[in-house]
Amino acid sequence: MTNSSRKKFLFLLAAALPALALAQAQPQQPSRPAGQPQRPAYTAPSSAQQDWQRAVDRSRVQSQQRQNAVQQQLQQDNVNRQMNATTDPALRSQLDNANRTQQNLYRAKQDDEVKRYNDRHPGQPPPPAGTSSTGR
């Protein structure tokens, strides 16, 4: 190779190098397999969908509160049976303390369910509070 042909070759290479770099830098669009539908754009839920979701959430809260109330009533009945069967004052005191703690836990569960509903649906009326089973 002669000096002049070497210079021409280097000149062509220097001129072609940016074009090659530009061709490689262009991103290729990903091709979707045939038959795959394009994803629809996200749409905000309609008021009917929001009402339906609110009703579902309200129903779930009421159901959970009923379950909590039934469980609380069963535990209350159990404690009452134990309190009636024991004569030991120390055991009665322990049962009474356990009963108070259980009632506080029950109230906290019920309040938490209502709070979660209110957090998800601000400005909406909360579901009715569950029945309380206090006292002996």
**48-92 pLDDT per residue, tens:** 888 888 888 889 888 988 998 999 899 889 988 998 898 899 998
What's the one-letter identity of residue 82? Answer: Q
Q: Which residue has the tokens 């909360």?
A: 126
| Dist CA 60 CA 33 (whole Å) | 42
Report the alpha-carbon angle 5-9-13, nearest 5: 170
Helix 47-85 and helix 89-120: axis angle, to 10°?
180
As a whole number of angstroms, the distance between CA 85 and CA 54 comes to: 46
pTM: 0.52
In this model, does residue 130 exceed pLDDT 60?
A: no
In this structure, are residues 117 and 64 in contact, taking their beta carbons and an 8 Å threshold?
A: no
What tokens were used for 133? 């089973």
The whole-chain average pLDDT of the chain stands at: 79
